């Protein structure tokens, strides 16, 4: 049987499947359920300094090949979220705190609190496609991003991951800016900006009009982004986007990812998707003569 363990920065993970931010990660109970279902690490819902209600309904649409959502980053705020983190302090599974902010000062404050509350790492969400001030306005500015990452790294000891959007002119340039700021890993990609229009009313269906598209339809975009980034940075890349099966994960590994995050597939295959994907990875690796995940990473461009 193949060895599915992998290393991201200073984190040693028992398998390469993590829960992506934004699904089943709002409270300790749901996160523990994902741990019990085989996720090697949990990325929390994106948390800000203050409580945020998010957008009005409708916020989520199921489309033919994925999900379109505009939740608006609803969250209880970092101080209230501390209660959920405290409940998971005895967990041996790493909890990665996803945070969003508009500037370096807020990111530093949030990262420091996440570290204090027991997070094993922080993931800087600089790529939300539907939240003004907190998303792409931060993640498309290489200079600003480098400053933010550098500022956070100077204040916390835990690893710092940076989650990028595909909706930028040059994602490699943005990834390199994060690396220059001393990021420990790149997470690629966040959802793709999209829209669905109701033909009868001639209006966008989502209350926010636009939202983020996730699911199998965006996998080729995610694979391409990981492929481009991995060849141009010297830090690990975590692949996200459309991963539903073990073969999907292996494609990301071959593109250069050292691990993958799974989100929408929890909806489509159920919480046990982590266990299923790992089993499928194992079968494929055994069949093709691979012993370790690291043997697969980046083989598509070597």
The residue count of the chain comes to 302
- The token duo for 250 is 């292996």
**Cβ atoms 145, 127 nearer than 8 A:** no
How far lies 171's CA from each of 42, 141, 232, 233, 278, in Å?
A: 25, 11, 11, 12, 29
Is residue 20 within 8 Å of residue 42, measured between CB atoms?
Answer: no
Report yes or no: 110 and 57 within 8 Å, Cβ to Cβ. no
Catalytic annotation on 37?
no
**CA 70 → CA 101, 135, 195, 213, 214, distances in Å?**
17, 12, 10, 9, 11
The catalytically annotated residue of 128, 140, 225, 278 is 128
Q: Which residues are catalytic?
A: 128
């Amino acid at each position: 049987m193949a060895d599915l363990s992998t290393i991201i920065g200073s984190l040693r993970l028992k398998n390469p499947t993590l829960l992506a931010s934004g699904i089943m990660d709002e409270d300790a109970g749901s996160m523990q359920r994902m741990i019990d279902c085989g996720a090697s690490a949990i990325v929390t819902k994106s948390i800000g300094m203050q409580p945020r209600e998010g957008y009005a309904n409708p916020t989520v649409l199921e489309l033919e090949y994925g999900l379109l959502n505009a939740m608006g980053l609803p969250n209880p705020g970092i101080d209230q979220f501390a209660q959920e983190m405290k409940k998971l302090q005895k967990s041996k599974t790493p909890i990665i705190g996803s945070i969003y902010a508009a500037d370096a000062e807020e990111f530093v404050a949030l990262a420091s609190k996440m570290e204090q509350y027991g997070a094993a790492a922080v993931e800087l969400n600089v790529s939300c496609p539907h939240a003004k001030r907190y998303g792409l306005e931060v993640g498309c500015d290489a200079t600003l991003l480098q400053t933010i990452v550098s500022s956070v790294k100077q204040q916390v000891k835990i690893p710092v991951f940076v989650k990028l959007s595909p909706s930028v002119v040059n994602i490699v340039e943005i990834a390199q800016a994060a690396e220059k700021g001393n990021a420990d890993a790149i997470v690629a990609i966040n959802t793709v900006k999209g829209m669905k229009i109701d033909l009868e009313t001639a209006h966008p269906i989502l209350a926010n009009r636009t939202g983020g598209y996730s699911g199998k339809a965006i996998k080729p975009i995610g694979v391409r982004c990981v492929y481009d980034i991995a060849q141009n940075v010297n830090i690990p890349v975590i692949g996200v986007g459309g991963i539903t099966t073990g073969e999907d994960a292996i494609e990301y590994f071959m593109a250069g990812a050292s691990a993958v995050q799974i989100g929408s597939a929890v909806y489509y295959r159920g919480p046990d998707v982590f266990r299923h994907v790992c089993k499928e990875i194992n079968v494929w690796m055994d069949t093709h003569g691979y012993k370790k995940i690291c043997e697969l990473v980046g083989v598509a461009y070597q």
